[in-house]
Structure 1
Amino acid sequence: MVGAGPAGSAAALGALREDPSLRVLLLDRASFPRDKSCGDGVAPHVLDVLGSVGAADVVDGWVPLRHLELARGTTRVEGPMAREVYVVPREVFDARLVEHAQRAGAVLERRRVREVRVTPEGVCLDGELSAPVVVGADGAHSVVRPVLVGDGREPRAIAIRGYAPTAAHRVGKQVIRYGPRAQPAYAWAFDRGDGWSNVGYGELLPGPSRGESPSRALLLDQLEELLPGTVADGQQWKGHHLPLSGWRWRQPDGPVLLAGDAASLVNPMTGEGIYYAVATGVLAGRSAARALAGGSPEDAGAAHRAAVRHLLGRHLKHTWTAARLSRVPAVVDAGIRAAARDRRSFDTLVELGLGDGRIGPRLAGGLARQLIRPHREEHHADPVRP
């Protein structure tokens, strides 16, 4: 596995759960524990997947959250989510997941992989290491991905993340506030439950010929504008790029598989990627193990492609559609108003952003009604039940 973050460690767990006798090597340029720029949100879907490989305890000791607030200007909805989420620093979450993989039998080695070649004998890394199947789980700036699909032009977002003391009025909450810039553009504050919150701001990057990327100063200014008082006491600021999912996901045939950010699997509506990472990681590990058991490592790519499309294919199309629609501020407002008036629409928006959600007739109808009907200046409500 190239990369030992959530995707790589989950791939190791998936492979070893399928066949404990396999020799699995986890390669990562960093030593663990290490920090990682992220919103730190761990959705219930993540724990569903990790439970299948015996690793759902990675959130032990952290406080679950149920309350979510979404807002753009004066348009707002807040209420309890159907299932609880956790906010766990990646320094903790990733290290615990790596430890699970090691206990299952994986070997962790610190190494920056620079070259990947596919030969008739297998996959060769840096001219020194070889394996019948390799999983590329090395993040947004993957070395493995270009070997399979070239230098893609998928849309990207940029975000900055820090940690700040949790404001009293945000205790027990996940707060998302949309801003005025290129949508989706929003600030967040996610209470960790230990007196600190993960805070940050992100927005869609312009295309290659459409202008410069926003500066660190601009990102922090937007965060302060949307969540006043956040920046002054913040610390551990880190910026990162997010390769966003598209309409269709690519995975070529062969013995090299992609998972997580390396596969450009990041929710284009919210920037969430941990669920995609662990889900596609486990599937990659299982596909690799089964291909090896069948004596055909070259079949791993096709098997992995089929498994990921079965799990996420429809969802990716719906999140792509939702992300395109949400580039129009009026649609963002309509979605928030629809969620404020109908509990099931609220739950659907949460699912779209966190896991395996789809745009159902109820949400689509609510959006349409809110777009065409006159509305009052202020929308400030909890979601109601149908």
Structure 2
Amino acid sequence: MRHFLASRPAELPALLDHWVATGVITPEQAARMRADLGPTPPPKLTVLPGLPPAAEPHAVDRRQASIAIEALGYLGSLLIVVASLLFASRYWDDVSTAGHLAIVGGAAALLLLAGFAVPARLGEAAVRMQAVLWLGATVSTAGFLGILGDEAFGWYDEDLALLVFAGTTLVAALLWWRLPTVVQQALVVAGLAGMAGASAAQLQVENLPGVAVWGVGAIWFLLGWGRVVRPRWAALLLGGICVLIGPGMTVPADGGIVLALATIAALVCLAVLARDLLILAVGAWGALQFLPIAINEWFPSEVTAAAVLLVVGGLLVVGAVWVARRRPGASAPAKRRAYAIPAEVALIAGACVAVAVTAVILVLGLS
């Protein structure tokens, strides 16, 4: 009996309790057996098929601590923003320009340093905290530059916008290089689009800023398609949004509508050829935005408008079904990679777009 129990120590407590309950041994005998065999190790937990193993207590404690720290970081960032807004609404007019710069610049510096101070041992929580803190720092930097240009330099309109977007883009690019997250990438794209639009606005020609924003979006889309910029889906999404926002800045001009519809057609065709639902979704969103405008401008008849919407809607449905049926599954990663153009081709195509858009802006602006 002793040899049997010693060979199966994990089952000892349950066996002794069972024998006592069935009257095989007395409670006193069970107590002597436990004392004779010494302490027994804790029983092992049995993991049922399909269920994850139970987390260790210290792992749970670490996860709970990281969640609490992350929540405190978000709350602190929110309080900084709220405090700045309250101070600005109550005492802004009573403070000098230097005070305004100190307040906003101090908030930017505090959020920036807080992001650097986040310990890397928090893992994914650290990345999320840094992304949010540096988002606040970038926005505060834009506010600082806006105050500097407006109150200190006396700049306005396109000059002020160029200062704000150029400085903010520089900060956002440095932070994106340090922390390549989607949030930082979005800030870089927004800054580049704004800077390009403000630069084109210097020529004082209507609709040129929209063309410049379209160019930034097209270049970013190509860089994402060639996997020069990662993650690819974020680059495609951000570039697709820009190539639709740019023409939207030019409507109801006929040229802007034509550019928008051509861009939408290119996105839909590319989505069908590449079997990419994300690109198709961006193209469909653009169709919803610009088709009503084009119909109102070119086809005032209600019957014609309904017919056009019906045809376009049917084509989008057919395209979606085609993409869904032809799209490779998770078991075919090699096929999905084949739809990405080489990085060299993406860089050359992006450079060509940059040259072409710049030439169009200069020709139209200086003529």
Give the structure with the higher percent strand: 1
Shorter-chain TM band: under 0.3
- With structure 1 as the length reference, what TM-score do the two structures score? 0.24
- Bigger Rg, structure 1 or 2: 2
